[in-house]
Amino acid sequence: MPLRCVIVEDEPLSRQYITALLKGMKEVDLCGTATTQDEAVQLITQLQPELIFMDLELHTGTGFEVLKEINSPALTVVFTTALDHLALKIIKLSGMFYLQKPLDAEELEAIVKKIQGSNNVGVFQQPLRYLLETLHNDNMPVHIFIPGNGEEYVALKNIIKIESADKGTVLHLKDKGIKHSNVSLKYYELLLTDFNFFRVNVAVIINLCEAEINKISGDIIKLADGSSTEVSPKKREELFIKLAALKCT
């Protein structure tokens, strides 16, 4: 059974392009297109599609606003975006599907096949729950997706530090546990720097809200698990700036 899908895209050329790409795939059945925030809310509520291709930036609002308005976690959404800013970081941290514009036909097909071939669509709907949680929390992630074998979520506040490891990274948690992840430290640095995390040296990112730091010397006195780590000299100035602007909740 092909997936019933809708496209939310306001830019005519991009819409024509993705429409053409999807029409060439037997795994999907395109049953509607929306170009504004209101249209999108109406269309999705009415058609209850199995898959939504959602442009992040609409003239009339954002894809986030569409989802907040519908406020149902039982949807499978693939974001499409030409941007690499905060919104994309939120998407990545929630574990949602996303495609970078201009869309690559192969990537699109891979996602479609993955969803269509699965017996349990619930798995693909799970990230939306966490995305909505973030969106309702003033865009501050509450749980983040940890790419790896387990594919699980960890509360952001529970993370003390993230360290480089042999294959990927290790997350040290407040409840003394650790989590392995198969992505690089750079991945977390890019995504978490906006959310009170800071890479203090080549091998370690720390949660600034869970660290005791000497605000004069920039030395880390201790982390929540009692451990400590070096702050690389060239990172100090940046660290001071971060600390000055730090707001923990």
Which residue of 2, 4, 11, 88 would you call a contact of another protein, by CB under 8 A? 11
Q: What is the DSSP string of the chain?
A: -PEEEEEE--SHHHHHHHHHHHHT-TTEEEEEEE-SHHHHHHHHHHH--SEEEEESEETTEEHHHHHHHH--S---EEEEES--SHHHHHHHHHT-EEEESSPPHHHHHHHHHHHHT-S-THHHHHHHHHHHHHHHTTT--SEEEE-SSS-EEEEGGGEEEEEEETTEEEEEETTS-EEEESS-HHHHHHHHGGGTEEEEETTEEEEGGGEEE-TTT--EEEETTS------HHHHHHHHHHHHH----
For another protein, which residue of 31, 105, 140, 173 counts as binding (CB under 8 A)? 105
Smallest separation, CB 29 to another protein (Å)? 19
Range 23-42, binding another protein (CB under 8 A):
24
Omega of the bond leading into 233 within 30 degrees of 0 (cis): no
- Residue 21, interface with another protein (CB under 8 A)? yes
13 binds another protein (CB under 8 A): yes
Q: Using CB under 8 A, which of the segments 14-22, 110-118, 134-142, 165-173 binds another protein?
A: 14-22
CB of 17 to another protein, least distance (A): 6
Closest distance to another protein from the beta carbon of 198 (Å): 16
User: x/- contact string, 41-80, with another protein (CB under 8 A)?
Assistant: ----------------x-x---------------------
When asked if residue 233 is in the footprint of another protein (CB under 8 A), the reply is no
184 binds another protein (CB under 8 A): yes
Closer Cβ to another protein, 57 or 69, answer by number:
57
Q: Which residues bind another protein (CB under 8 A)?
A: 10-14, 16-17, 20-21, 24, 57, 59, 82, 101-105, 184, 186, 202, 234
